[in-house]
Structure 1
Amino acid sequence: MKLITIAALAALSASPALAGTIAEEQSKADLHQARADAARAQIQKEDAEAQADAALGNAGSAQAEADNAQADAESAKLQAQAAQSAAANLQEKADAAQQDAAVSQSQAANAQARADAATVEREQALARAHAAREGIEDSKYPQ
């Protein structure tokens, strides 16, 4: 394009009347080119604005999703804490039940020992009664 302009200027310098017309035509061509460039720039600007608006919309959606995820995470955290607290309460109850069971086992062992002692005493009493009965029978019926 510049080569044509230089050639045109060289031709214009040869003929001043022709130079004015060529200069006008060149100016008109430059004006049309500038308008076309401005129109392209406007289209590019509008495209960029549309892309920016879309990006803002996407960013808003992404932020909403992030907020929802954060709320879900907080809810899950609270549920986990509640479950952990419930588990701790259950553990305390289990520990108390274990202690009660140990006390009951000890009481059962003591009761069993008393029952065993009572069984021995009963057997001894039965043996004495049997011996006494034999003694009475022997005294009634001496041989």
Structure 2
Amino acid sequence: MASDPEHDLHAGRDGLQWVVSAYLLASGTLMLGVGRIGDLFGRRRLLVAGLVVFGRSSSARTLAPTLSVLVGARVAQGVGAALIMPVGLSLLTNVHPEELRGRATNWALGIGGTATACGPFVGAALTKSVSSSAPP
């Protein structure tokens, strides 16, 4: 299990940048089209598929033996996120009465934005705290 990708995977700064960029490129590129796919094939089905893809790719990312596998898993996480976000918001608006939809959407987007902004920093802090206390 890679606790310090730069050291454990022999990755330089350029390689580590791809770990972040792969997720953002995959999720940002696919998100727009997924809303339409959800309309065609069912939002709930796509939400469940996205959760499965994201969960499995998170496990693969955690156990990645090489930088290539880590970047590939991050791409898969981005695909899962692209499946989850649009259909999740759509389902959220469907379950709330009209007068509460705006508030529910604002909360969901606020929490999602905060998690997106804070996630890398919290993840790095957790990784550092675990890897510094682990035996060599």
TM-score, normalised relative to structure 1: 0.27
Name which structure has the greater RCO, CA cutoff 8 Å, separation 6+: 2
Higher Rg: 1
Q: Which has the higher helix share?
A: 1
